[in-house]
Amino acid sequence: MQLVSISDAEFAQFQRFIFDAAGITMGDAKKALVTGRLGKRLAAHELSSFGAYFKLLKSGQYPAEVQMAVDLLTTNETYFFREPKHFEFLRSQALKERSRPQSFRVWSAASSSGEEAYSMAMVLADCIQTTPWEILGSDISTRVIDGARRALYPMERGRHIPPEYLRRFCRKGGGPYDGYFLVERGLRSKVTFRQVNLNAALPELGQFDVVFLRNVMIYFNNDTKRDVVARVIATIKPGGYFCVGHSESLNDITQAVTMVAPAIYRKGV
């Protein structure tokens, strides 16, 4: 298949498309990413230009294709126990709450293919046995959410999982699943995944003790950051915690939370 080139004007159309859909500001350096990820969709529809594909997306006749394009342009790298100090913090908070009767609720607000949410689940399953707990994982991409629900990963993706957790919570595949592992059923039952667009009004999600929204805001401009952060903070219980990526900051974004550790913020009581 011959790769179709994308003009500056066509690229600008897709920059606006993904900003409107997901609030993501896509710099000029992402032109090759757009060409590579969407090029196959041109071939699937037998189109000869990115302009023609953009017209197809904007026609209103192909909502599934619009979601496909959003999925392809928003998939980000993730892995189990990324930025491990946040999981140590999650453990410490869960241990403080392990005698209460109310459910301890955690939201992985940009969970991608599920590694972050299942990492949370391993920590909570290990440290609190009496207090009920639950985890919500969400992402704008339906494709990665479907993968997260399957909870099937190549073995090399488990390299950051502590060995004890790997033994307790993961099942090695065989036959057609040789080289893969499956997160065990009991742990999967504690994690719910759903599609959520942080760049729009949130559905009813309830209130959370801890929210992780990590390594996503670097793709937003300041106005979008403020809007997204305000929506997310509204779901955090008074005194609850908000974790962002270590390369991110809420300085000049909100006064509703206070930093208590690097990339960890607490909502006022």
Catalytically active residues are 37, 139
One-letter identity of residue 208: F
Give the pairing type, strands 152-154 and 180-183: antiparallel
What is the C-alpha radius of gyration for the chain, rounded to an integer number of angstroms?
20
Provide the token pair at 232.
């997310």
Whole-angstrom distance, CA of residue 82 vs CA of residue 78: 7
Whole-angstrom distance, CA of residue 16 vs CA of residue 14: 5
Could you please report the per-residue DSSP string of 177-198? GTTEEEE-HHHHTTEEEEE--T
One-letter identity of residue 128: I
DSSP 33: H
